[in-house]
Chains A and B, each alone.
Chain A
């Protein structure tokens, strides 16, 4: 059975879809079979980030309602042949998903794939709860900013209460992925530091993705950043995070901003 990983956050716009695409592609690049499932029914975007928006014929809702087979709805990536996408429906509403239906789809996927990444919608409503429902592990995408950290804390509470694993009395493995990290601003004490975020959420760190133009560029091109240019700093951070997700013990390096002479002179402290 493959591993089911939910990518979630509570807050919108922190980088769930970007991270799902980047992590999934990074894992698939190593030869693992990976399925990415978009749970954002009505507001799908994973297809666009993956550059597969013109290839969507059937979607998750079609599969659940039995109007399409799972094999018909899965879209194979053109760059990495072990990477597949199951898009969300754009026309239905989120009530089209049922727990039984989602459970069946996830079970089928995890019997065929090594990894199933569930891209959660924002919020804590039904769609988000179904995305996490059958997960073995969770990646909590967090920006170093108060509202994002608060929502992450809320999501962590839900992961520990509302997942099948939690209800069975087992622990769901949780990892925090800090995105849009700006080393210069953190050094000036204007942004919550990595230590602050981890201390508050008391959840292990999967990786730190620096704020980067390359991420936006990758979205524009319709390619996960880990495929479009695997050498840039954001891509490297995602590739390392993917390795940690696979169990590799890799130390996390906090992006570092060299202090200027003036900073030293004025004794500004890093937060």
Chain B
């Protein structure tokens, strides 16, 4: 970094404005809808529970929102000993 960069440093307000614009555009769209991630989480949990016994804590659903595209990440850990079909464990 040279000395000139120090003087040219712009304020943080433009960053704040941009972040707010992206965030609020999303929040306004989803204002009347329930939280998508928690709905997905519950439904995925229900589907898996029909076949495999898993703990709530082993299911991670997260969403990374981008401006043009968002990524939905689902991480399910199935412990080996309870991975047997429910019918057999009963």
Binding site for B on A (CB under 8 A): 145-146, 149-150, 153-154, 157, 186, 188-193, 196, 200, 266, 269, 271
Contact = CB atoms under 8 A, between A and B. Distances in A.
Contacts of A145: 16
A150 B16 CA distance: 11
Contacts of A269: 10
Contacts of B20: 146, 149-150, 192, 200
Q: 3 closest A-B pairs (Cβ-Cβ)?
A: A189-B11, A271-B13, A190-B11
24 contacts: A145-B16, A146-B19, A149-B20, A150-B20, A150-B23, A157-B28, A157-B31, A186-B13, A189-B10, A189-B11, A189-B12, A189-B13, A191-B11, A192-B13, A192-B16, A192-B17, A196-B13, A196-B17, A200-B20, A200-B21, A200-B24, A266-B7, A269-B10, A271-B14
The main secondary structure of chain B at its interface with chain A is helix
B44 to A, nearest CB: 28
Interface of B: 7, 10-14, 16-17, 19-21, 23-24, 27-28, 31
A255 to B, nearest CB: 16
Contacts of A154: 27
A262 to B, nearest CB: 10
A266 B13 CA distance: 19
Given A190-B11, A191-B13, 16 more contacts: A146-B16, A146-B20, A150-B23, A150-B27, A153-B27, A157-B28, A189-B10, A189-B11, A189-B13, A190-B12, A190-B13, A193-B13, A196-B16, A196-B17, A200-B21, A269-B10
Nearest to B21: A200
A154 B16 CA distance: 17
Contacts of B11: 188-191, 271
A186 B14 CA distance: 11
Contacts of A190: 11-13
Contacts of B12: 189-190
B61 to A, nearest CB: 23
A153 B12 CA distance: 21
Nearest to B32: A161
Contacts of A192: 13, 16-17, 20
Contacts of A149: 20
